[in-house]
Amino acid sequence: MGGALALGIVLWRMSYLQGSRFNDATLMRPKGLLSDFDPTPVAYSRRLLFDAMILCDELGRMPPGRSIYDLGTPTTGRSRGWTKAGNSHEHRQAQTVSNRKCWFGGCFRIMTTLVKHLQLLLLTTLFREHQSLLDLDGITNYGPTEESLNRMDPKGQNYDFIIVGAGSAGSVLANRLSENERWKVLLLEAGETEISLQQIPILCGYFQLLSRFNWGYKVEPQENACLSMIDRQCSWPRGKTLGGTSTINYMIHTRGVKADYDNWAALGNEGWSYDDVLPYFKKSEKFNISGTNKQGTQSISKHDTLINSPHSYPSGFHNTSYHGYKGYLCVERAPYHTDLARAWLKAGQELGYDIIDYNGNEQIGFSYLQLNIDKGTRCSASKAYLRIDRRNLNIVTNARVVKLLVDKDTRRAYGVEYVKHGQRNRVYCTKEVILSAGTIDSAKLLMLSGIGPEEHLRELGIKVVRDSKVGYNMYEHIGFLGLTFLVNETVSLVQSRVTRPNVALEYLLRRNGMMTIPGGAEAVAFLRTKYATDSNADVELLFTSGAVSSDGGIPLKKAMRITDELYDTVYKPIEEKDTWAVWPIVQYPKSVGRLTLKSKDPFVPPRMDPNFYSHPYDLELVLEGLKLAMNISRTESFQRYGSKLHDIKFPGCASHEFATDDYWRCAIKHLPSIMNHEIGTCKMGPESDPDAVVDPRLKVHGVRGLRVVDASVMPTMPRGHVNAGIFMIAEKAADMIKEDWK
């Protein structure tokens, strides 16, 4: 370890400093832990070690009480500086002593953690004359070409379509609408491009820590949830880059069930039944999972073969009428699975469940996760849909839209106002403005532009264009993060094991191994509880081959704002132990929230109050899911590893007897799993629906030339995870727009 660290520092010193030293200009605006770099192995190592040294030096200047994770967090004064409060001689002296301890302790931890992750990259210097051995495709080839980015300054220009937000929906729309060579399409994105390390699945959680890639939203302090999160506020990570949240999520691809979309149609949304939307799920997909071929015949049929060989699926995949093969979005499985994940599937069979294709005909059962990955690397929306170079498509980054331009007389959207490099600009459209900024920011932009609840807008001094229920109907999948089991064999993911050089080399050379598992999430079960009202699953059990503690407190603890009290009491004692965990998740939540504005200043985050667990049904359903997970832990498949419930009590639940229903109700409130699946703030519905913001063709009621295309239009929550549904919505919207402008 010491040799690797020394080699890294020498390599960094030779390559970058060349005898110079850090200065204030260097440190004024550090780009952060994972800034852009040359993708070659040697430069890859140098760049990250250079970032580490910058952060260590910055760490040495931090005020007491601040941590490395505060980098990029706005403070009084400069946005990336430190406050000047307490500038007395005594304070400076105390701060110096404190920061020396912080530097030597914190910097050593940063450097050793980074070098553990980078040992493989230092080793690859041995291959510098044989770089053809390294499979860098997928890591270095992502997102738009340089030629298609910022092709021209859009200020004052006219386009046929302006798309706001380059997330999952916006990326699809930019691609599909620019297929018509006669249409000029502008895609505006507030963030930058994704970077190389975002392509490595195991690292997905790290990017929810960094303000460069994440808007950093937090919900309002909750009464019934987030009780062991800092300030009782859960994080709501949202991607701030080309590809949006698909660049920082866990890549899980689930569609929901037939009843979800038939319900949308029953609410008056013609054209949105399951039979209507299935073709668009298939259109988006480039499905590549073993167990079936393109003709639909089985290649693997025995469950035992499935479990013992992680590269195959059983008969659940025999009907390819549910899947597409020619789309842009890769749908694959992680090429590697732990023994614990195989035990999960075996346990399901012990309990009488099938191994299923949950995106096919049957959703009750167990499965490995289907993921948006491409041969072991992330397949984000940007990587899937924006690797195109079309002269009629202008993709502009670092352009934050702050207002929609709507003619007050005709009520027609004719452009947007955006900020780039601190300058406000306007750009205009002849056909439509399309909002694809996500459930939070699409609703926020509508209200800032005068489209929203009249009383609320008038309170903030915003001129009302259209009275509308924008911001209502906000739902989220919620569950429990803390159900953890210990095992007596080295079969799980722990940081010291994942960061071994051989593991990293396997990833670089073969695109295989532990690093292909997205944040430890490997498998799932969709099951019915006693509360189920139909034949469909009402709870999801998400299996992870590790726990909150498995990354040593980085990044899950920080990303989810878990308090030191809870983490140090419950999870720190098991940081180096082998564990597995289950997140029981409500599939059809009844707790409903609302999004409102705090200010008419577009740079002030909105107020997001999801009212987690305000409806008792959600809490009781998670409790039932927890009990199902406990039953799974008792199966022979898990007992062969000595699976045992981790039994250190949550500090906030100490008055309850451990493992009683009341204890679990308390624990669920203290440590909820927030899935970042918020939907519904611009609800789709017919004009007769007083709560609807957009119609079934996604046009904003009462405003011409304006559509919303993202998860905010979902009238109800689909089961599973929502990102696949967003791609479907955007594919369908693109066809509707083409039909409307023939």
Q: Catalytic amino acids?
A: 677
Confidence at residue 30, expressed as pLDDT on a 0 to 100 scale: 32
374, β-bridge pairs: 377
Tell me the two tokens of residue 305.
Answer: 């073969």
Give the Cβ contact number of residue 421 at 10 Å.
7
- On the CB side of 262, CA atoms within 13 Å amount to 4
- Collect the ranges in the chain with pLDDT lower than 50: 1-41, 44, 50-106, 117, 120, 122-135, 292-315
pLDDT at residue 338, rounded to an integer:
97
CA 674 centroid distance within chain: 11
Nearest residue to 665 (alpha-carbon basis) of 711, 610, 622, 715? 622
Q: What is the dihedral of CA 126, 132, 138, 141, to 10 degrees?
A: 100
One-letter amino acid at 646 equals H
Among 630, 626, 292, 265, which residue's Cα sits nearest to residue 479? Answer: 626
For residue 253, which of 358, 172, 374 has the smallest C-alpha distance?
358
pLDDT of residue 362: 87
Domain boundaries, the chain: 140-194+241-291+381-446+680-741, 335-368+474-590+611-677
Nearest-CA neighbor of 160 among 141, 183, 144?
183
Q: Are 447 and 720 in contact (CB under 8 A)?
A: no
User: What does the block give as tokens for 361?
Assistant: 């005909």
Task: Decide if 711 contacts 439 (C-beta within 8 A).
Answer: yes
Tell me which residue of 95, 93, 91, 24 sits closest to 66, measured CA to CA. Answer: 95
For residue 209, the model assigns a pLDDT of 85
Q: Which of 526, 625, 522 is nearest to 580 (CA)?
A: 522
CA 564 from centroid of its chain's CA atoms: 24
Residue with tokens 């701060």: 95
Residues sharing a CB contact under 8 Å with residue 239, sequence separation 6 or more, in sequence order: 167, 191, 213, 214, 215, 245, 246, 247, 248, 249
Sequence-ordered list of residues with C-beta below 8 angstroms from that of 480, at least 6 positions apart, any chain: 583, 584, 622, 625, 626, 664, 667, 668, 671, 672, 673
Res 15: pLDDT? 37
Locate tokens 């939203």: which residue? 217
Q: What is the dihedral of CA 606, 610, 611, 616, to 10 degrees?
A: 180
* Contact of 632 with 621, CB cutoff 8 Å: no
| CATH match of 335-368+474-590+611-677 with 3.30.413.10 | no
- How far apart, in whole angstroms, are the C-alpha atoms of residue 215 and residue 71? 14
Report strand pairing: 185-188 vs 158-164. parallel
Give pLDDT, residue 252. Answer: 98
CA-to-CA distance for 215 and 238, rounded, in angstroms? 6
Reported CATH class of domain 140-194+241-291+381-446+680-741: alpha beta
Per residue, the 3-state secondary structure of 437-457, as one string, reads CHHHHHHHHHHHCCEECHHHH
